[in-house]
Amino acid sequence: MDISIVIAVHNGEKFISRAVRSCLDQSFPRLDFEIIIVNDGSTDRTLDCIAPFKQFYAGLPPFLKVITLEENMGIGYACNKGIEESLGQYVVRVDSDDYIHEKLLEIEFMFLQMNKDFDAVACDYFEVDEDGNTIRRMNVDKRPISSGLMFRKDRLLDIGLYDPDFKLMEDEDLSYRFKKKYTIHRIPLPLYRYCKHGENCTENKIALSEYSDKLMVKHPELKGIALS
């Protein structure tokens, strides 16, 4: 297995089908990647939305696996669970309210295969609204996210994966720790779609401020450095 896509979802009935469909529509050979969905204690119709995909692709590539956590453990814990269960040598995280371009796996995989000195590859992304309309294009170096990146899995395991204590800003924490030891190459193509909507947890400015302070406590050397 070459690639594992990990989707962690909590109460994502509104967008999860779009995310899964974009992963299924990849140009990359279907026998060579898997999709792991971690249901993080959802109390809405998330599992009902996933069920048709699971039923249709039962025993067929790409292999789709659903892991259900009985309680909401948070994005970091859920992503770690998916990564730990993955079979691929490369890992890509896709958030449940986002989606990806059909060439993302193919382009990022080809880069890492041809450039053994790099440990991960990132792509630029579009911020989009709920209907997929483009808001703006983002440079992933200037506004880093760990979604849409393709990591060599052994490198992720080496740095300890996501910190489950971070319910927000887990991207920034992971990216900082990863870059301290390993290299990430930027592909200037917007292959990821980051959905901005009213339910985004990042809209909670109080919680965001709290986790920003938490990040500074964990990494005091970051004080005074703009992370986004």
Q: How far is CA 109 from CA 62, 74, 113, in A?
A: 16, 28, 6
Strand partners, 120: 151, 184
Q: Is the pLDDT of residue 226 over 70?
A: no
- The letter for the amino acid at 128 is V
Q: How far is CA 126 from CA 55, 131, 140, 183, 194, in A?
A: 31, 13, 10, 23, 6
Sign of CA dihedral 73, 79, 80, 85: positive
What confidence tier does 222 reach under pLDDT thresholds 50, 70, 90? confident
What is the homologous superfamily of the domain 3-222 according to CATH?
Answer: Spore Coat Polysaccharide Biosynthesis Protein SpsA; Chain A (3.90.550.10)
Q: How far apart are CA 104 and CA 119, in angstroms?
A: 17
Residue pair 100/13 in contact by the 8 Å Cβ criterion:
no
Q: Is the pLDDT of residue 159 over 60?
A: yes
What does the pLDDT read at residue 15?
98
What does the pLDDT read at residue 208?
73
105-147 per-position pLDDT tens digit: 999 999 999 999 999 999 999 999 999 999 999 999 998 888 9
Residue 217: partners with Cβ closer than 8 Å, 6 or more residues away: none
Residue 50: partners with Cβ closer than 8 Å, 6 or more residues away: 16, 20, 37, 39, 66
What does the pLDDT read at residue 94?
99
What does the pLDDT read at residue 217?
79
Q: How far apart are CA 177 and CA 186, in angstroms?
A: 17
What does the pLDDT read at residue 93?
98
Task: Provide the pairing of β-strand 150-152 with 134-138.
Answer: unpaired
What does the pLDDT read at residue 203?
54
44-88 per-position pLDDT tens digit: 999 999 999 999 988 888 899 999 999 999 999 999 999 999 999
161-206 per-position pLDDT tens digit: 999 998 888 888 998 899 999 999 999 999 999 999 876 655 577 7
The residue among 225, 86, 62, 59 whose CA lies nearest residue 142 is 225
Map out the domains of the chain as residue ranges: 3-222
Output helix, strand, coil percentages for the chain, rounded to the nearest 5: 35, 25, 40
Q: Is the pLDDT of residue 227 over 60?
A: no
What does the pLDDT read at residue 228?
46
